[in-house]
Amino acid sequence: MQTTLAFPKPGPALKGLLIVVAVLGIGLALTIQTAVGSTVAMSLAYLPGALQKFQIWRLVTSGLLTSPDSYGHLIFSLLGLYFLSTDLEQRWGGKRFLAFMAGSVAIGNLLAIAVDFVAPASWAAFHITRPLFGPEAAIAATAIAWASVNADKQILLFFVVPVRGQYLTWVTIGFCVLGVIYPGAPPAGQMAPFGGVVAGLLFGGSPSPARLFFLRTKLWLLRRRLGSAAPPSVESIVRGTAKKRGGGPPLRVVSGGLDEKKPPKDKRYLN
């Protein structure tokens, strides 16, 4: 059992993500009262009814923002993004890592939209009545994804509490449930972290369950196209080839070259 205590150096993808979140967080805190700051914030956050206006980019860009009213949200967002992401970036590479983070935020927002659509009107907390922003879904997704490939490792939760990877999934889900029970929803909404849990379960791991499903589906389609329950094996192909050769005509020797009865006049080329 291994305990993670070091602070590994982030890769270029994670470093760039942290810089963008930090610059936007500090910049909006300084300029939110101005026209420029409010325009930037309203251009990146997810607004109620944004999908009806085909503003799809908000599903992802909302995860780059933090609350301009509290430096605590910025600090905890940066720590949450850094905490377990270094290991994932090393395993996956920068492109897959960034795609995973963007997809996690998008799934979190889509889940919040779906719950807003089906929730009764009396459940006011589950309806989108204000802009949604924050990387809570991405943070939850990284915790689930890290736990899926590091079941035997330990981390220090909040740098104090030791938690093994196999239990981190349940701890993350527990924090998501507490976010629903207690008042004061995070800026990303109460349902976005659950979307991050779904993203971590589907797209975490090496290979991820989603990729395994894709490959199995592709193999099933290939088998149907071949018209057999299973693709032919190498042995069957070899046996079939041997049978075809066995049923053919016998081998014949075709004579060629010079006639032995009439040796050539020039014998320089004879061995």
Q: pLDDT per residue over 101-110, tens digit each?
A: 999 999 999 9
Nearest partner of 207 among 144, 148, 138, 167, judged by Cα: 148
Residues 145, 200 contacting (CB under 8 angstroms): yes
Look at residue 256 in the predicted model and tell me its pLDDT. Answer: 55
CA dihedral 175, 135, 79, 153 (to 10 degrees): 60
pLDDT bracket for residue 262 (50, 70, 90): low
Within a domain: 271? no
Within a domain: 259? no
Within a domain: 253? no
3-state secondary structure 154-168: EEEECCCEEEEHHHH
- Average the pLDDT over 252-270 and give the result: 57
Look at residue 25 in the predicted model and tell me its pLDDT. Answer: 94
Within a domain: 20? yes
Within a domain: 226? no
What is the three-class DSSP state of 148? helix
What CATH number should be reported for the domain holding residue 10?
Answer: 1.20.1540.10
Per-residue pLDDT of 182-236, as tens digits, reads 877 788 888 999 999 999 999 987 788 888 888 888 888 888 888 755 555 444 4
Query: Which residue type occupies 36?
Result: V
Q: Enumerate the β-bridge partners of residue 153.
A: 2
Q: What is the residue range of 92's domain?
A: 2-216
Lowest model confidence (mean pLDDT) among 47-51, 53-57, 177-181, 236-240: 236-240
pTM, full prediction: 0.76
Look at residue 234 in the predicted model and tell me its pLDDT. Answer: 41
Per-residue pLDDT of 62-75, as tens digits, reads 999 999 988 999 99
Q: Which residue has the higher pLDDT, 70 or 3?
A: 70
**Cα–Cα distance for residue pair 169/184, rounded to 1 Å:** 23
Residue with tokens 């018209």: 227
Residues 154, 3 contacting (CB under 8 angstroms): yes
Within a domain: 165? yes
Q: Which residue has the higher pLDDT, 113 or 164?
A: 113
Residue 10 has pLDDT above 70, yes or no: yes
Helices 192-203/136-149 angle, 10° precision: 30
Within a domain: 92? yes
Quick one: how far is CA 256 from the chain centroid? 67
Look at residue 238 in the predicted model and tell me its pLDDT. Answer: 44
Tell me what percent of the residues of the chain surpass a pLDDT of 90: 44
Domains of the chain: total: 1
Within a domain: 35? yes
Residue 246 has pLDDT above 60, yes or no: no
Per-residue pLDDT of 151-178, as tens digits, reads 788 777 766 777 787 888 898 999 899 8
